[in-house]
Amino acid sequence: MKLRPFTKNDWMGYSGAVAPYKGQEPMIGEEEFGDGGGALVIADKHGIEVTLFPPGYTEHFSGEEGFRLDMDFGTATEMIENWKRIPPRDVLHVMGFINI
């Protein structure tokens, strides 16, 4: 999965993210699913956060699910970049992610 550095707009939407090192931005990636749902993934100083959006999601912040796995930034970005797709919720739980 392709990640990109946070932009000013990302900081406005995800202000809880923490810069991994001074002068370095958290990384973010998005994926759209064929059913109209999608996912967002953020790697920051504390690990990985995944948000899954249900089919027909309209950006009104209802129905999304969040997951978190604590790890260092380098390991987090490497793990995400090796994903072909964001794992489904049951696989995230097996990987050690917790619901947030």
Model pLDDT for residues 78-90, shown as the tens digit of each residue: 999 999 989 989 9
Segments making up each domain of the chain, as ranges: 4-99
**pTM of the shown model:** 0.90
Q: In a 3-state reduction of DSSP, which class is residue 47?
A: strand
Model pLDDT for residues 29-65, shown as the tens digit of each residue: 999 888 888 899 999 999 999 999 888 776 656 778 9
As a whole number of angstroms, the longest Cα–Cα distance in the chain is 39
Contact 45, 36 (CB under 8 A): no
Exposure of 76 in the CB half-sphere (CA atoms within 13 A): 24
pLDDT reported for residue 34: 81
pLDDT reported for residue 40: 94
pLDDT reported for residue 60: 59
Q: Is the dihedral of CA 57, 61, 62, 66 positive or negative?
A: positive
Distance of alpha carbon 17 from alpha carbon 20, whole angstroms: 9
